[in-house]
Structure 1
C-alpha cells in the first residue's frame, strides 16, 4: 500500500496548515484537510482508517498531538482518493483529535463554551506548530471489515480493533513550519 500526494516533497502546503488568512480559520484553526491518495490497497480490504499525529509535541505538551483520526472509509478497488477538505465533507466516521484534551482547556479556559467546539474536536485540525519545523505522521490502515465506530470515537477505540482487521499499513512523514 502506498500514499501519494498532489504536492512535491514532504512539506504540507500552507492551505492545509496555519498559514492561511485569519478569516478562513475557525477559532484560529484550519479545518481544510490535505488531499492524498491511497494506492495498491489489498484486494480483500473493505475500509480504510487513519491518523495524522505530531510526535514533536511531546516535549511541549507531554503527548503526541492527534490532528485527525478517521475510520470506515469504503474501499472500491485498489485506490481511494481523499479530496481536499474530505474531513468536513466526510461520510465516514471521525474520532476526537487532541483539541478534546485537558491541555486545550488549560490553553483556552473558555474552550468548553464554544459552540463550534465539538466540530473542531472531531475533524481535521491543521498543523500549527508553536515553533520550528514539526513532523506529522500520516498513517493509513487497510482493514478487512468495518470498525463500526461512531463519530467522536477515541483513537484508542480504533487501535484496539486494528489487530483483528489489519491487512496493510502505509505511512508518510510530512513537515510543516512555524512562519
Structure 2
C-alpha cells in the first residue's frame, strides 16, 4: 500500500505535480505560486459538484512537473487497469 501525508502538495518534495485550474490566461490575477499544487475545491460563485477519480495503473506515469490534464489522461489511458470515482460538493464560503 502507499501512504500519502496530509497536505503533501503544499510541501516541497521530490514528486511530480500537474497544473490545476488556476492556470489560465483568462484570469486577471497571477496564480503562478499555486498553479502546480492541489488547492482543493474552490467554487467561484456558488456550490459546485466535483469528481474525484482514482486510477489503478500497471505502470508509473512518465510525466514531468507542470504537466497538463490532457497529458495526464493520455498517459493514464495507456496504463489504466481500473478506475473509480466519487462526486463531491464544494461549498461556496
Q: Which has the higher helix share?
A: 1
Considering fraction of residues, name the structure with more strand: 1
Q: How does 1:21-170 map to 2 (within 5 A)?
A: 79-89=1-11, 90-104=13-27, 107-108=28-29, 111=30, 117=32, 119-170=33-84
Work out the CA distance in 2 between the residues paired with 1:132 and 1:98.
17
Structure 1 unaligned spans of 5+: 1-78
**Residue deviations 1:38-81 (CA, integer Å, cap 9, x gap):** xxxxxxxxxxxxxxxxxxxxxxxxxxxxxxxxxxxxxxxxx434
Contact 2:62/2:75 (<8 A) preserved: no
CA contact (8 A) 2:18 2:37 kept: yes
TM-score by length of 1: 0.46
The size of the alignment, in residue pairs, is 92
Deviant stretches of 4+, over 4 Å: none
Bigger Cα Rg: 1
- Alignment correspondent of 1:172: 86
CA RMSD of superposed structures (Å): 1.9
Task: Flag the structure with more relative contact order, 1 or 2, with Cα contacts below 8 A and sequence separation at least 6.
Answer: 2
Contact preservation (8 Å) 2:17, 2:36: yes
Deviation at 1:98, TM superposition (A): 1.6
Scaled by the length of structure 2, what TM-score is found? 0.81
